[in-house]
Amino acid sequence: MELAAVASVVVEKLKMSDEITDKTVIEEALIKMQRVIADTNEEQRNSDEFKSWAEKCLRSLYYVEDTVESFTLGIARQNRKWGFLMNHSLVPKNLMPCQKLRRKIKRIPSDIKRVIDEKPKGTDKQHACSNGTTTNMGDQNRAMAQCSYATIPESDEEELVLEVDRKPLRLDREKQAKLMSTNKPLRCSSDKSVRLDRETEARLMYTNSYADEELEMFDIRQEVHDLVKRLIKTADKGRARIVEIAGELGSGKTTLARAVYGRREIKKHFKSGCAWVTISKESNKSDVLQNLLKQLGESKDAVDLATNELETRLLKWLIGKNYLIVLDDVQSDQMWEGLKSVFLDNRNGSILLLITTTVNPMYCVSPPNNIQKKTLTEEYCWNLFLKKAGWATWEEGKERQVVKQRVLNVCCGLPLNTVLLGSMLSTVGDDIRFDYLQNILRINWKTKDIVSVSYMNLPDHLKLCVLYLVLFPKEYDIPVRRLFRLWLSEGFVNPKEDKFPEDVVQENFDNLVKRSLIQISKFRSDGSPRRCRLLGVLHDYLLPKAQNIRLFHVHCSAYSTKDSFPLNVRRLVEHASSKNIYSDASRFEHLRSYLSFNFQRKDTPATEVGILLSRVITKGFGLLRVLDLEGVYKPSLPENLGDLFHLRYLGLRWTFLDALPSSVGDLPYLETLDVKHTNINNLPTSMWKSKKLRHLNLSHIRLDMPKHSDTDSLPTLLTLWGLSVDDDSPVKNGLDRLCNLREAGITFCLKNCDHLLNWISKLTSIQSLRLRSINDVGHPSHFGDEPLSLSSLSNLSHLNLLGVLPNLPEYMPQGLKVVTLSLSKLTEDPMPILGKLEHLNVLRLLSDSYMGKEMVCPQEGFKELRVLKIWKLKNLEKWNVEEAAMEKLKEINIRCCNKLMSIPERLWKKPSLRELIITNMPEEFKQSVITFMRCQDLILTFKDYDLTPLPWEDADHTSDESHTNE
């Protein structure tokens, strides 16, 4: 139950509030409330009396959070105002303005007791069992395995009680300096699902990357191939056509369409463009048309147009164009009737792809183009279930056969049911998995039941993580980097001794992916997740639960008034501008998070942000923890931003801001500052005093660091990306104090880089490292005369080097997964050294990284290599691959290697090889590739670009020797 999750967060935050001296009594009262909430079953919770009482509990919990955080805010402001006098024994404590809040805090236990006593009679029956399955199941799961299905969906509260009974985590000072505090926030209010009306959002959505394993998993490889051919063939007939994918909920319609949408053949064929719109129940025709105009590049001033004007503009743009438009989840005939006239009369080979469960526009769709999404065969469904559940074998027998048939009946051949049910079983211990499966199959299931159990089976801290995904638009691709840091800043990390919060977040994410509640929508070349999403079915299921606890409010109308805007918004998600709602700051007294997705216009700064923040700060509220403005054009930030004492996350990526308020260095709890892709060229010196900052993403900024400071600079910093270092930047007694970095991206222009490279060699925790050496005109330069020392960087997995290397280090970290070399000008073949890296997945040898004529991949080398990119190696003539090398290679990408005449014959025989991309290569090379391709089942892509030379590649510039930095 979400109410129990809220209660656990309040308890955890209270434990971490050092300013509250008498918090033990409050903790005990809250824990008692948790137990009372847990001591009710699903049937009892459905009563009106309980719902009314639960609302009182929710208000009480929010009151505790507000009072505690307001008190800590008041203390901080007093300390800032009165300085050292605050600790002086002669200052009378009862004269401080926080006394009113102190009195409120003292009343909290009795207030909670009064709410508990008001619980309706007859609802205090202890729930039968717990379903809080985790990877460490123990006796709790043994009891759970004996439960009937009817008790499972709402039976997670018993685990909650076990969680709260744990003693609060206490670390010694040394560990505290190493690990970050993880206060947990409460949830905020919610509204309806939102439209997708942003150009950048549209650009980021559906940039999917479906691995071959996924196509096999869902048995859609042939369907993808057939649908690609159908779309191209249908488009070639010269008239706008409609293709419909219809099927049951959870049959994989959208998964099939996404896999097709991302194919290179589709992007290549539909030259005018592709667009994808997910239509929610709340969407209207205007929303859809605006979204399409934005994705197709005709969005200027579209926000101010009426529906008929939007339709006229879209019709005008589409005429004579060759496009593919996907409308996902068309749920009503009325919506379809309003949209079809825009598409039916257009010519020139355009396609409208409809994905629908309920609408059947057969009179507009020719029979071959009406595709019914097929379900899985029983054999395939069963094998997929076993794979997801973690069963390597399945014993035969009458009892087992009955269970098998029951599973098949429940799954109904639907991929969603099969994957969710199997994934949920994978979290149950091997010794009780079969018993658990038997018990949850006792009643007739529907898809919504499997979704419900998959969610209710989660521990409370994971429920909060999943619920948070509803904040993003339906089917939206969320950057994993962004999600992790938001989870951290919101306080969704349950502290674990001797573990960094980032590692706990990664565990939580992996757990949710394993349970198939989060889907990876785009992978990096090394196989790690880059973007993720919440399935549409889960979004629809979780939205009411988020509303029940007022998780967030979505502001999606430019015509909102004060009367239509809720009071006491705790988390505001903005999709449309409306200045008139910000005049009443009292509505945002308890605002914890502000996330804006309102970047419809790129020529007008977003002043509304500044209006809201200024009024919130002026009124003395300042409880904001998250300010995420990623993609908003030049938002206005108040100069007194530093008064937001609780702020943990300041996301300004892609805002193109020119400057930051100097007070940003005064934010004592700031954990993430992201100014990547902005015009900001300096940060306040006070930033280096921050004790909590963990992630700093810059846009090639040179930082003025304090020299010879008595205190450590940024002791908790883990990410430092986009830093520029020159001869005026202190490395010794400056940068070299940052000893805990995990990710570092540094561009340096130094006469002598010994101090910098010596510091780098000591970053034993570094996982991702990008170093770029340039000279004073921005051209690539030398890394020095001595080889890089990387042998001590045992945790390094990603290495990216740009600049001239004397040679490749002989001892490379064995954990390396991705290596990228650019302009290294190596004269010795790097392959013998790189081939020894047993975990190397991706190798990129880019422009002039190797200057030799011959390259040899050693015998049995590159055991795990999947992707190989060879670009602009202008001297390379011969490439040899010895026996048993590159056995797992999947993709070869060759560009502008004009003297290379062929690909090693041994590579053509690799059964793992799937794709070959050839760009700007000689005709003789292309012909040799085509000759081998005749007997190969590979995806072959030829590309030819007019590549603009980089400044140092231009023939009019000085010779290669000018790249050095003497």
Region 475-496 average pLDDT = 88
Residues 104 and 18 in one domain: yes
Quote the CA–CA distance of 541 and 722 in Å, as a whole number: 40
Does the residue 50 lie in any domain?
Answer: yes
Alpha helix (H) ranges present in 165-306? 173-178, 199-204, 212-217, 221-235, 253-261, 264-269, 285-295
Contacts of 401 (CB under 8 A, 6+ apart): none
Residue 774 has pLDDT above 50, yes or no: yes
What integer pLDDT is reported at residue 344 of this predicted model? 65
Q: Among 46-55, 206-215, 578-587, name the one with the lowest average pLDDT.
A: 206-215
Give how far Cα 597 sits from Cα of 52, 649, 663, 715, Å: 34, 16, 25, 33
Does the residue 887 lie in any domain?
Answer: no
Q: Which of 80, 99, 118 is the last residue of a domain?
A: 118
Residue 858 has pLDDT above 90, yes or no: yes
The residue behind tokens 């980021």 is 204
Residue 811 has pLDDT above 50, yes or no: yes
Residues 367 and 246 in one domain: yes
Tokens standing for residue 435: 């018993």
CB-CB contact of 785 with 806 (8 Å)? yes
Q: In the predicted model, what is the mean pLDDT of the chain?
A: 78
What integer pLDDT is reported at residue 735 of this predicted model? 86
Nearest to 718 by CA among 180, 181, 183: 180
pLDDT bin (cut points 50, 70, 90) of residue 821 is very high
Region 383-409 average pLDDT = 90
Residues 220 and 341 in one domain: yes
Q: Which of 549, 564, 592 is the last residue of a domain?
A: 549
Residue 832 has pLDDT above 90, yes or no: yes
Residues 384 and 520 in one domain: no
What share of the chain in percent tops pLDDT 90?
27
Tokens standing for residue 715: 């002791």
Residues 581-597: tens digit of each pLDDT: 666 667 778 888 888 87
Quote the CA–CA distance of 628 and 674 in Å, as a whole number: 9
pLDDT bin (cut points 50, 70, 90) of residue 841 is very high
**Other CB atoms within 10 Å distance of the CB of residue 865:** 24
pLDDT bin (cut points 50, 70, 90) of residue 210 is very low
Region 138-166 average pLDDT = 29
Residue 839 has pLDDT above 60, yes or no: yes
Structural domain range at position 466:
460-549
Of residues 344 and 220, more confidently modeled: 220
CATH code, 498: 1.10.10.10
Residues 224 and 362 in one domain: yes
Residues 53-103: tens digit of each pLDDT: 888 888 888 888 888 888 888 777 777 766 555 555 444 444 455 677 777
pLDDT bin (cut points 50, 70, 90) of residue 212 is low
Does the residue 888 lie in any domain?
Answer: no
Residues 44 and 62 in one domain: yes
User: Per-residue b/e over 130-153, b at no fewer than 16 CB within 10 Å?
Assistant: bbbbbeebeebbeebbebeeebbb
Residue 792 has pLDDT above 80, yes or no: yes
Q: Among 205-219, 398-412, 626-640, 782-796, name the one with the lowest average pLDDT.
A: 205-219
Residues 224-247: tens digit of each pLDDT: 888 998 888 765 555 557 888 988
What integer pLDDT is reported at residue 607 of this predicted model? 78
Residues 364 and 218 in one domain: yes
Residue 420 has pLDDT above 60, yes or no: yes
**Other CB atoms within 10 Å distance of the CB of residue 32:** 14
Residues 333-350: tens digit of each pLDDT: 778 888 877 776 555 567
What integer pLDDT is reported at residue 195 of this predicted model? 32
Quote the CA–CA distance of 733 and 627 in Å, as a whole number: 33
Residues 10 and 94 in one domain: yes
Residues 352 and 240 in one domain: yes
Quote the CA–CA distance of 803 and 776 in Å, as a whole number: 14
What integer pLDDT is reported at residue 368 of this predicted model? 73
Residue 535 has pLDDT above 80, yes or no: yes
CB-CB contact of 158 with 520 (8 Å)? no
Residue 563 has pLDDT above 60, yes or no: no
pLDDT bin (cut points 50, 70, 90) of residue 423 is very high
Residue 196 has pLDDT above 70, yes or no: no
Nearest to 830 by CA among 807, 813, 846, 853: 807
What integer pLDDT is reported at residue 125 of this predicted model? 44
Quote the CA–CA distance of 920 and 91 in Å, as a whole number: 77
Quote the CA–CA distance of 651 and 696 in Å, as a whole number: 10
Range with top average pLDDT, 123-137, 292-306, 477-491, 579-593: 477-491
Structural domain count, the chain: 4
Does the residue 909 lie in any domain?
Answer: no
DSSP string of 794-852, one letter each residue: TT--EEEEESB-SS--SS--TT--EEEEES--B-S-SHHHHTT-TT--EEEE-TTSB--
Is 717 in a helix, a strand, or coil? coil
What integer pLDDT is reported at residue 249 of this predicted model? 84
What integer pLDDT is reported at residue 184 of this predicted model? 35
Residue 204 has pLDDT above 70, yes or no: no
Region 176-205 average pLDDT = 35
Residues 320 and 390 in one domain: no
What share of the chain in percent tops pLDDT 70?
78
Residue 697 has pLDDT above 50, yes or no: yes
CATH code, 214: 3.40.50.300
What integer pLDDT is reported at residue 237 of this predicted model? 57
β-partners of residue 892 are 868, 916
Q: CA angle at residue 462 from 458 to 466, to 5 degrees?
A: 100
What integer pLDDT is reported at residue 19 of this predicted model? 72
Tokens standing for residue 267: 């992007």
Residue 209 has pLDDT above 80, yes or no: no
Residues 106 and 76 in one domain: yes
Side-chain-side CA neighbours of 602 within 13 Å: the count stands at 10
What integer pLDDT is reported at residue 157 of this predicted model? 28
Does the residue 302 lie in any domain?
Answer: yes
Q: Which of 335, 356, 372 is the last residue of a domain?
A: 372
What integer pLDDT is reported at residue 174 of this predicted model? 43
Does the residue 242 lie in any domain?
Answer: yes
Nearest to 321 by CA among 269, 259, 262: 269
What integer pLDDT is reported at residue 481 of this predicted model? 94
Region 23-28 average pLDDT = 83
Of residues 332 and 205, more confidently modeled: 332
What integer pLDDT is reported at residue 83 of this predicted model? 58
Residue 186 has pLDDT above 50, yes or no: no
CB-CB contact of 817 with 841 (8 Å)? yes
pTM here? 0.83
Does the residue 61 lie in any domain?
Answer: yes
Does the residue 195 lie in any domain?
Answer: no
Region 437-443 average pLDDT = 83
Range with top average pLDDT, 145-154, 172-181, 478-487, 944-953: 478-487
Q: Among 365-369, 545-549, 639-643, name the one with the lowest average pLDDT.
A: 365-369
β-partners of residue 672 are 649, 695
Residues 327 and 213 in one domain: yes
